[in-house]
Amino acid sequence: MPKKRNDPEAVRCARVRQLFTLRYAIKPNENDVLAFYGWLGAHHPELLPKLTRGDAYQQFKADLRGLYRQQQGRPSERR
């Protein structure tokens, strides 16, 4: 079921995506995601995912899926 426009989580995710594309407009990668996570934590911590379980950074990366280049794994990690 799609999230509603006024759903706080959907609004947070949309704002995070908007800020990311403004800061990293040219070919962002995973390093930029990590840098943005740190910047967001310092400047807008209310926009970071609030999880009771799981990894907040992994959720954050999922929020930005499709906006950055993912690095290829090491040869031993590829299958």
Residue 79, pLDDT above cutoff 80 = no
pLDDT digits (tens, 9 = 90+) for 6-64: 899 999 999 999 999 999 999 999 999 999 999 999 999 999 999 888 999 999 999 99
pLDDT of residue 10: 94
By the 8 A CB rule, do 64 and 33 touch? Answer: yes
CA distances to 13, 58, 71, 72, 73 from 77, in Å: 30, 18, 12, 9, 6
Instruction: Return the bridge partners of 69, or none.
Output: 29
Q: What is the largest CA-CA distance in the chain?
A: 44
What integer pLDDT is reported at residue 47 of this predicted model?
Answer: 97
